[in-house]
Amino acid sequence: MARPKKEEKKIQYTVMLEPSIIEEIKNLAEKAGLTPGKFARNLIKSSLEEARLFDKAGIISLVGSSRRKMDEFRKRFNLNFDSLDIFKKD
């Protein structure tokens, strides 16, 4: 049986979020019976676990390089989503 992890000391870390996201975190935290800070911390931890799995599978670097190539392609051909007819709704 694995030993439980030692609880690390928490440090403050500031991020900028849109007001709508903050409001949603507050609403969901209240429903979960948690403080907004604890709820946000849980979201970050669970997302980080998924990111670690993606990293082990090589997906993180693949997405990063694909994104850079797509940005280069858009700049080279002066493209954006507004200029692509296939994305426009009639």
Residues 31-46: tens digit of each pLDDT: 999 999 999 999 999 9
pLDDT recorded at residue 89: 56
Whole-prediction pTM = 0.62
Residues 9-33: tens digit of each pLDDT: 999 999 999 999 999 999 999 999 9
Distances (CA, A) of 72 to 26, 42, 60, 80, 82: 38, 35, 19, 12, 17
Helix (H), strand (E), coil (C) string for the chain: CCCCCCCCCCCCCCCCCCHHHHHHHHHHHHHHCCCHHHHHHHHHHHHHHHHHHHHHCCHHHHHHHHHHHHHHHHHHCCCCHHHCHHHCCC
Per-residue pLDDT band at 83 (split at 50, 70, 90):
low
Each domain of the chain, given as residue ranges in start order, spans: 19-87
Per-residue pLDDT band at 1 (split at 50, 70, 90):
low
| Whether residue 55 has pLDDT greater than 70 | yes
